[in-house]
Structure 1
Amino acid sequence: MEEIRDNILARVAEAEREGWLGEVEGLKVSLAGAEDKLAQIDRQSQKATIILGMPTTRSGDVE
């Protein structure tokens, strides 16, 4: 996803150099969406990890 954001940034720079104002605006909308998605992914990756502990065997399961 970061590659997509970086690509959009490069396209925005190109559009600004070329004076493609409509393209710049559209790319900025796409950029905002990509940044929102990256933030969402980051928030999800920071959620608490549940530690389940070591599994145990019942005495009847041992051969």
Structure 2
Amino acid sequence: MLHVNPKMVDRLNELEQDLITRRQHAQREHWLGEIEGIDLTLTFLRAKREEAERLSRRPVIQLGTPRSRGDSG
């Protein structure tokens, strides 16, 4: 699965708007297969955007530098 960086949400919004415009054109031309493909792409895009937005709300946890068990201090 593709993981989307939360910094890319604005780009996903641009892509969504472009797809909506393409879908409107496909509707005017009665391109049913194109509409179906665009709808599927929009579904995946929106899910990825929601995932990225959810991840951006999660706190960052600092785990520190890993050490081997033999290291002291």
TM-score when scaled to structure 2? 0.64
Q: Please give the root-mean-square deviation of Cα atoms over the aligned residues, in Å.
A: 1.4
Q: 1:13 maps to which residue?
A: 24
**Residue 33 of structure 1, aligned match among 20, 41, 44:** 44
* Percent identity between the two aligned chains: 31
Q: CA-to-partner distance for each residue in 1:1-55, whole Å, 9 max, x for gaps?
A: 111111111111110111001100011000111101100110001112459xxxx
Give the unaligned 5+ runs of structure 1: 52-63
The runs of 5 or more residues in structure 2 that have no matched partner are 1-11, 63-73
Q: Tell me the amino acid that sits aligned with residue 51 of structure 2.
A: Q
**Structure number, greater radius of gyration:** 1
Which has the bigger relative contact order, CA under 8 A and spacing at least 6?
Answer: 2
Aligned residues: 51
The DSSP-based 3-state class of the residue aligned with 1:48 is: coil
